[in-house]
């Protein structure tokens, strides 16, 4: 069926070893190389990567395991990872876990069976905890979400600073009753909640937190809980874009005006956040940079396996829009 290296060798009148060298980096005379390339063309030969990997014990493959490839955050990071991998002559296997720890486990096992050179992983909370007990037997860089402290290289948003930036901004706009709705499947939600709490305390304000699944419907329930409470909030922060979208819909459905009745802010500068009325104030993450740094950490780790663990924290950018505008907000009591 498909031509093998033997067929090419026969067609070129050389040994399989010479074909291999001509197509790889081995030393071959120009004359033979030309013969080989001609034979490759004639036979339509394509190397069998399974055989190459088995023999060379190098897969030239990076695994990228993310929670939700439909999330523009991960799409953006994936692009950067793919670009860096391409530059380095590596392939990327992209796996989407849908925030499901079971799928995560399946894919992590698969990555081992594929013998990937290294892995870039955005783990759920469940898997982050399992990683503490059952370390992965390959070089891993964590992105977006914290894992067990001090075990793996990682590149994260400075979540404490980002949450603080949102709180500071809202306080500057005159808000005092600021609530937060945080995703509960990832360590990121936990970190952003902690940052929010710390910032609120710094301002001498009471924190009011809800934890929710990263789903539109869950955000609606969270808003209902907040509105039902004693001191109705003047502003709400969402820790991810799905929750932000859910809150926006729920606030509209409740007939409340943004920002007059309720200011709204969140994470991730997705294009729709700038298209809705009013535009939503968000923390923009440096997607490209996260992907680039993750690959760079991975390459460093492969080069020097015993180097100390590195944790890189990147700053976000606060994009201010109408959803937190001061002049439009109701006067404080």
List of residues contacting its own copies (CB under 8 A): 2, 44, 46-51, 53-54, 59, 69-70, 72, 75-76, 78-79, 82, 91, 93-94, 96, 98, 109-110, 112-115, 137, 245, 248-249, 271-272, 275-277
In whole angstroms, give the CA distance from residue 10 to residue 291: 45
Q: Which does 272 bind (CB under 5 to 8 A by kind): its own copies, DNA, none?
A: its own copies
In whole angstroms, give the CA distance from residue 308 to residue 98: 32
If the CB atoms of residues 116 and 178 are measured against its own copies, the closer one turns out to be 116
Query: What does DSSP assign to residue 52?
Result: H
CA neighbours closer than 13 Å in the CB half-sphere of residue 297: 26
If the CB atoms of residues 110 and 319 are measured against its own copies, the closer one turns out to be 110
Q: Which does 109 bind (CB under 5 to 8 A by kind): DNA, its own copies, none?
A: its own copies
Does a cis peptide bond (omega within 30 degrees of 0) precede residue 278?
yes
Cβ neighbours of residue 285 closer than 8 Å, sequence gap 6 or more: 73, 157, 267, 268, 269, 314, 316
Among 57, 87, 271, 304, binds DNA (CB under 7 A): 57
Among 17, 106, 253, 330, binds DNA (CB under 7 A): 17
CA neighbours closer than 13 Å in the CB half-sphere of residue 94: 13
- Residue 256 beta carbon to its own copies: minimum distance, rounded to whole angstroms: 16
- Residue 192 beta carbon to its own copies: minimum distance, rounded to whole angstroms: 22
Q: Which does 79 bind (CB under 5 to 8 A by kind): DNA, its own copies, none?
A: its own copies
> Is the dihedral angle over the CA atoms 173, 178, 179, 184 positive or is it negative?
positive
Among 16, 60, 148, 278, binds DNA (CB under 7 A): 16
Parallel, antiparallel, or unpaired for β 281-284 and 317-319? Answer: antiparallel
Q: Which does 245 bind (CB under 5 to 8 A by kind): its own copies, DNA, none?
A: its own copies
Dump the DSSP string for 25-43.
SS---HHHHHHHHHHHHHH
If the CB atoms of residues 100 and 129 are measured against its own copies, the closer one turns out to be 100
Identify which range of 53-61, 79-87, 148-156, 316-324 contacts DNA by CB under 7 A.
53-61
Q: Which does 131 bind (CB under 5 to 8 A by kind): its own copies, DNA, none?
A: none
Residue 178: strand pairing partners: 235
Both tokens assigned to 264: 């709204």
Angstrom distances, CA of residue 154 to CA of 56, 98, 141, 144 = 29, 21, 5, 8
Q: Phi first, then psi: give them for residue 126, nearest 5 degrees.
A: -60, -50
Q: Which does 249 bind (CB under 5 to 8 A by kind): its own copies, DNA, none?
A: its own copies
**Residues near DNA (CB under 7 A):** 2, 4-6, 14-21, 23-24, 26-29, 31-32, 45-48, 51-52, 54-58
């Amino acid at each position: 069926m498909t031509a093998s290296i033997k067929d090419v060798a026969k067609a070129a009148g050389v040994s399989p070893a010479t074909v291999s060298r001509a197509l790889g980096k081995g030393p071959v005379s120009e004359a033979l190389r030309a013969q080989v390339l001609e034979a490759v063309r004639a036979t339509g030969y394509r190397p069998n990567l399974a055989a190459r990997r088995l023999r060379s014990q190098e897969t030239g493959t990076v695994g990228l395991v993310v929670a939700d490839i439909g999330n523009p955050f991960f799409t953006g990071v994936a692009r950067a990872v793919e670009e860096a991998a391409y530059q380095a002559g590596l392939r990327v296997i992209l796996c989407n876990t849908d925030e499901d720890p079971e799928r995560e486990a399946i894919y992590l096992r698969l990555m081992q069976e594929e013998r990937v050179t290294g892995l870039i992983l955005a783990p759920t909370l469940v898997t982050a905890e399992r990683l503490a007990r059952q370390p992965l037997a390959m070089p891993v860089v964590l992105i977006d979400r914290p894992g067990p402290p001090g075990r793996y290289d990682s590149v994260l948003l400075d979540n404490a600073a980002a949450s603080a930036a949102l709180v500071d901004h809202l306080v500057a706009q005159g808000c005092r009753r600021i609530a937060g709705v945080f995703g509960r499947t990832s360590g990121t939600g936990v970190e952003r909640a902690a940052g929010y709490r710390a910032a609120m305390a710094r301002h001498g304000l009471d924190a009011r937190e809800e934890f929710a699944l990263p789903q539109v419907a869950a955000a609606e329930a969270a808003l209902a809980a907040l509105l039902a409470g004693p001191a109705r909030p003047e502003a709400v922060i969402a820790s991810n874009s799905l929750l932000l979208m859910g809150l926006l819909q729920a606030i509209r459905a409740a007939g409340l005006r943004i920002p007059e009745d309720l200011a709204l802010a969140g994470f991730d500068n997705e294009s729709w956040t700038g298209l809705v009325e009013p535009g939503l104030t968000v923390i923009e993450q440096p997607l490209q940079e996260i992907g680039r740094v993750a690959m760079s950490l991975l390459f460093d780790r492969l080069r020097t396996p015993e180097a100390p663990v590195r944790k890189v924290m990147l700053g976000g950018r606060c994009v201010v829009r109408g959803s937190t505008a001061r002049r439009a907000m109701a006067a404080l009591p």
